[in-house]
Amino acid sequence: MIRFFTEDIQFNLLQKVPTRQWLTALAKHEGFTVGELNYIFCSDEYLLQVNREYLDHDYYTDIITFDNSEEEYRLEGDIFVSIDRIRDNAQQVKATEEQELRRVLAHGVLHLCGYGDKTEQEARLMRQKEDESLAAWTNRSLNVTDPSSGE
Protein backbone atom coordinates (compact mmCIF):
# COMPACT_ATOMS: atom_id res chain seq x y z
CA MET A 1 0.00 0.00 0.00
CA ILE A 2 1.35 3.38 -0.99
CA ARG A 3 0.07 6.37 0.94
CA PHE A 4 0.65 10.09 0.60
CA PHE A 5 0.79 12.57 3.50
CA THR A 6 1.74 16.19 4.08
CA GLU A 7 3.51 17.58 7.09
CA ASP A 8 3.89 21.34 7.32
CA ILE A 9 2.70 22.43 3.87
CA GLN A 10 -0.41 22.52 1.73
CA PHE A 11 0.12 20.11 -1.15
CA ASN A 12 -2.21 17.84 -3.08
CA LEU A 13 -0.70 15.15 -5.26
CA LEU A 14 -2.78 14.77 -8.41
CA GLN A 15 -3.46 11.39 -10.00
CA LYS A 16 -2.91 9.39 -6.83
CA VAL A 17 -4.23 6.07 -8.16
CA PRO A 18 -2.16 6.15 -11.38
CA THR A 19 0.86 7.24 -9.32
CA ARG A 20 0.42 4.28 -6.98
CA GLN A 21 0.09 1.97 -9.97
CA TRP A 22 3.22 3.41 -11.57
CA LEU A 23 5.33 3.15 -8.41
CA THR A 24 4.06 -0.39 -7.72
CA ALA A 25 4.93 -1.35 -11.29
CA LEU A 26 8.38 0.21 -10.93
CA ALA A 27 9.04 -1.89 -7.84
CA LYS A 28 7.76 -5.00 -9.61
CA HIS A 29 9.96 -4.24 -12.62
CA GLU A 30 12.94 -4.22 -10.24
CA GLY A 31 11.87 -7.54 -8.69
CA PHE A 32 10.16 -6.18 -5.56
CA THR A 33 6.67 -6.00 -4.12
CA VAL A 34 5.35 -3.02 -2.19
CA GLY A 35 4.38 -3.45 1.43
CA GLU A 36 3.75 -0.21 3.29
CA LEU A 37 5.27 2.80 1.58
CA ASN A 38 4.59 6.29 2.88
CA TYR A 39 5.44 9.47 1.02
CA ILE A 40 5.51 12.54 3.26
CA PHE A 41 5.49 15.86 1.41
CA CYS A 42 7.00 18.71 3.40
CA SER A 43 8.93 21.99 3.28
CA ASP A 44 12.68 22.55 3.02
CA GLU A 45 12.85 23.49 6.68
CA TYR A 46 11.01 20.36 7.80
CA LEU A 47 13.25 18.09 5.74
CA LEU A 48 16.37 19.95 6.91
CA GLN A 49 15.34 19.17 10.48
CA VAL A 50 14.84 15.48 9.60
CA ASN A 51 18.25 15.50 7.91
CA ARG A 52 19.90 17.00 11.01
CA GLU A 53 18.08 14.85 13.54
CA TYR A 54 18.33 11.43 11.92
CA LEU A 55 21.29 11.63 9.55
CA ASP A 56 23.52 14.29 11.16
CA HIS A 57 23.58 16.21 7.86
CA ASP A 58 23.20 19.97 7.86
CA TYR A 59 22.01 20.70 4.34
CA TYR A 60 18.88 20.90 2.25
CA THR A 61 17.88 17.93 0.12
CA ASP A 62 14.92 16.99 -2.04
CA ILE A 63 14.38 13.50 -0.58
CA ILE A 64 15.23 11.33 2.39
CA THR A 65 14.34 7.66 2.26
CA PHE A 66 14.06 5.50 5.37
CA ASP A 67 14.07 1.78 4.64
CA ASN A 68 11.78 -0.10 7.04
CA SER A 69 11.85 -3.35 5.06
CA GLU A 70 11.97 -6.55 7.06
CA GLU A 71 11.50 -9.01 4.20
CA GLU A 72 13.79 -9.39 1.23
CA TYR A 73 12.30 -8.05 -2.02
CA ARG A 74 9.42 -6.33 -0.17
CA LEU A 75 9.62 -2.55 -0.03
CA GLU A 76 8.56 -0.78 3.13
CA GLY A 77 9.60 2.68 4.11
CA ASP A 78 9.02 6.34 4.70
CA ILE A 79 10.05 8.76 1.97
CA PHE A 80 10.19 12.46 2.84
CA VAL A 81 10.01 14.84 -0.13
CA SER A 82 10.64 18.60 -0.01
CA ILE A 83 8.21 20.32 -2.33
CA ASP A 84 10.33 23.50 -2.04
CA ARG A 85 13.36 21.61 -3.45
CA ILE A 86 11.22 20.05 -6.19
CA ARG A 87 10.16 23.51 -7.34
CA ASP A 88 13.70 24.92 -7.24
CA ASN A 89 15.23 21.88 -8.93
CA ALA A 90 12.61 21.95 -11.69
CA GLN A 91 13.57 25.53 -12.53
CA GLN A 92 17.28 24.70 -12.49
CA VAL A 93 16.97 21.68 -14.81
CA LYS A 94 14.27 23.33 -16.94
CA ALA A 95 11.70 20.63 -16.20
CA THR A 96 8.12 20.96 -15.09
CA GLU A 97 7.40 20.61 -11.40
CA GLU A 98 5.43 17.45 -12.15
CA GLN A 99 8.36 15.91 -14.03
CA GLU A 100 10.75 16.69 -11.21
CA LEU A 101 8.29 15.42 -8.60
CA ARG A 102 7.87 12.15 -10.47
CA ARG A 103 11.64 11.80 -10.81
CA VAL A 104 12.00 12.16 -7.05
CA LEU A 105 9.11 9.77 -6.31
CA ALA A 106 10.82 7.14 -8.47
CA HIS A 107 14.19 7.98 -6.86
CA GLY A 108 12.83 6.97 -3.45
CA VAL A 109 11.59 3.60 -4.73
CA LEU A 110 14.88 3.02 -6.51
CA HIS A 111 16.80 3.69 -3.28
CA LEU A 112 14.65 1.09 -1.55
CA CYS A 113 15.43 -1.33 -4.40
CA GLY A 114 19.11 -0.93 -3.60
CA TYR A 115 20.27 1.73 -6.02
CA GLY A 116 22.67 4.31 -4.63
CA ASP A 117 23.79 7.70 -5.83
CA LYS A 118 26.94 8.47 -3.84
CA THR A 119 29.52 7.73 -6.54
CA GLU A 120 29.53 9.06 -10.09
CA GLN A 121 28.84 5.58 -11.47
CA GLU A 122 25.94 5.01 -9.03
CA ALA A 123 24.51 8.44 -9.86
CA ARG A 124 24.62 7.69 -13.61
CA LEU A 125 22.78 4.39 -13.13
CA MET A 126 20.25 6.06 -10.81
CA ARG A 127 19.61 8.77 -13.41
CA GLN A 128 19.17 6.14 -16.12
CA LYS A 129 16.64 4.27 -13.95
CA GLU A 130 14.83 7.54 -13.18
CA ASP A 131 14.66 8.36 -16.89
CA GLU A 132 13.25 4.89 -17.63
CA SER A 133 10.68 5.39 -14.87
CA LEU A 134 9.63 8.77 -16.26
CA ALA A 135 9.27 7.27 -19.73
CA ALA A 136 7.13 4.49 -18.25
CA TRP A 137 4.94 7.13 -16.55
CA THR A 138 4.55 9.01 -19.82
CA ASN A 139 3.79 5.85 -21.79
CA ARG A 140 2.02 4.07 -18.93
CA SER A 141 4.04 1.03 -20.02
CA LEU A 142 4.47 -0.38 -16.51
CA ASN A 143 0.75 -0.37 -15.65
CA VAL A 144 -0.51 -2.70 -12.94
CA THR A 145 -3.61 -2.58 -10.79
CA ASP A 146 -3.18 -0.85 -7.44
CA PRO A 147 -4.45 -3.25 -4.79
CA SER A 148 -5.18 -0.41 -2.37
CA SER A 149 -7.34 1.52 -4.84
CA GLY A 150 -10.20 -0.93 -4.96
CA GLU A 151 -9.79 -1.23 -8.75
What's the per-residue H, E or C state across the chain? CEEEEECCCCCCCCCHHHHHHHHHHHHHHCCCEEEEEEEEEECHHHHHHHHHHHHCCCCCCCEEEEECCCCCCEEEEEEEEEHHHHHHHHHHHCCCHHHHHHHHHHHHHHHHCCCCCCCHHHHHHHHHHHHHHHHHHHHCCCCCCCCCCCC
> 111: annotated binding-site residue?
yes
> 88: annotated binding-site residue?
no
> 117: annotated binding-site residue?
yes
Binding-site entries for Zn(2+): 107, 111, 117
Binding-site entries: 107, 111, 117
